[in-house]
């Protein structure tokens, strides 16, 4: 089926199913363009909670669809490609989390939304890269077990007096962590007038030289509001499509042109169409797990 016809049929099926398409900023350009709502993990989590659609089609990766299922137990949640999984979300093992809690009984657990539903049952509160610092500051404890991204943990530690304990010690996003300081320095040298904005999942030594560090939403706001006409973008390259659309006249250069999340790119027009047509793949979280995880997610969503 040619692309124009495919898009037309997706829109027809979406109306038939009373469905809404939520798309992450790292999705393919054609998927971003079809999304009813486009955003980062926090924005999409909030949107999932407030939509009146019967069906939520999540164009992202597994943990995002699971989060939507947890906060919307009465809705049908579809992930167009069931192998679109986040490797970092699978890093956190139950035994590691249990051991960390036993070793630090005084600490509360703040868990990045990029985790499996089962992992979220250990959390006192969930966070995203948009609100990680705000969540940590809102916790009662002075010590925080922060899982599972050590680079985001570093970002928070630099901005809080609380003690941040990364769990596990090696947890990273492979796509962001592959960016090297040497590589970024070369791009900065090649574009001396450009502002460097990076995601807090990049390594600490890159965060230190950035003009701005923030979530994908905050990065988009930064390039819109900053008067500079050139920007170096230190995150998954898919976000540049949206930046170009929403800020015409500005130039964007990837800090690492191979920073591509292959799992995010697994969703395409064909499997999005099949998902709506066949109502596949349904994401369901066992209620016992969902109930425990829901409290931690809701605590985040209830923050101002």
Per domain, the residue ranges of the chain are 3-84+264-284, 88-172, 179-254
Apex 23 CA angle, 275 and 239, nearest 5 = 135
Residues of the chain with pLDDT below 70 are 1
Give dist(CA 34, CA 112) in Å, integer.
27
Instruction: Please give the DSSP secondary-structure letter assigned to residue 100.
Output: H
The answer to whether the beta carbons of residues 10 and 59 sit under 8 Å apart is no
Domain covering 88-172 assigned CATH 3.40.50.300 in the classification: no
Q: pLDDT at position 1, please?
A: 63
Q: pLDDT at position 295, please?
A: 95
- Please return the burial class of 255, using the count of CB atoms within 10 Å of its CB with bins 0-12, 13-18 and 19+: buried
Number of Cβ within a 10 Å radius of residue 287? 11
Element (H, E) at 239: helix 239-246
179-254 CATH: 3.40.50.10800
> Strands across the sheet with 76-78, in order?
37-39, 19-24, 55-59, 76-78
Q: Can 88-172 and 179-254 be said to share one CATH topology?
A: yes
Backbone angles phi, psi at 88, to 5 degrees: -65, -35
Instruction: Please give the DSSP secondary-structure letter assigned to residue 163.
Output: E
Q: Name which of 217, 216, 275 is nearest 20 in CA terms.
A: 275
Q: pLDDT at position 116, please?
A: 95
- Burial code (b: 16+ CB inside 10 Å, e: under 16) for 37-71 equals bbbbbbbbbebbeebebebbbbbbbbbbbbbbbbb
Domain covering 3-84+264-284 assigned CATH 3.30.9.100 in the classification: no
């Amino acid at each position: 089926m040619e692309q124009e016809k495919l898009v037309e049929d997706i829109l027809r099926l979406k109306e038939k199913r009373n469905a809404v398409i939520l798309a992450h900023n790292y999705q393919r350009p054609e998927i971003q363009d079809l999304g009813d709502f486009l955003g980062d993990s926090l924005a999409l989590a909030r949107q999932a909670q407030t939509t009146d659609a019967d069906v939520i089609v999540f164009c992202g990766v597994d943990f995002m669809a699971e989060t939507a299922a947890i906060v919307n137990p009465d809705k049908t949640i579809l992930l167009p490609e069931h192998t679109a999984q986040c490797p970092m979300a699978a890093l956190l093992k139950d035994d590691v989390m249990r051991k960390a809690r036993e070793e630090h009984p005084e600490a509360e657990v703040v868990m990045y939304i990029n985790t499996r539903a089962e992992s979220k049952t250990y959390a006192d509160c969930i966070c995203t890269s948009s609100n990680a610092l705000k969540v940590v500051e809102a916790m009662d404890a002075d010590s925080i077990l922060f899982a599972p991204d050590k680079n985001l943990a570093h970002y928070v530690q630099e901005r809080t007096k609380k003690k941040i304990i990364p769990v596990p010690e090696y947890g990273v996003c492979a796509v962001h962590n592959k960016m090297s300081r040497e590589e970024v320095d070369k791009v900065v040298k090649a574009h001396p007038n450009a502002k460097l904005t990076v995601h807090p999942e990049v390594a600490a030594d890159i965060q230190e030289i950035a003009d701005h560090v923030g979530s994908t939403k905050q990065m988009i706001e930064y390039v819109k509001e900053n008067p500079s006409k050139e920007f170096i973008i230190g995150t998954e390259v898919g976000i540049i499509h949206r930046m170009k659309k929403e800020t015409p006249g500005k130039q964007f250069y990837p800090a690492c042109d191979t920073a591509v999340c292959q799992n995010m790119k697994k969703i395409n027009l064909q499997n999005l169409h099949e998902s709506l047509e066949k109502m596949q793949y349904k994401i369901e979280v066992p209620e016992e797990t969902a109930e425990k995880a829901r409290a931690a997610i809701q605590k985040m969503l209830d923050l101002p």
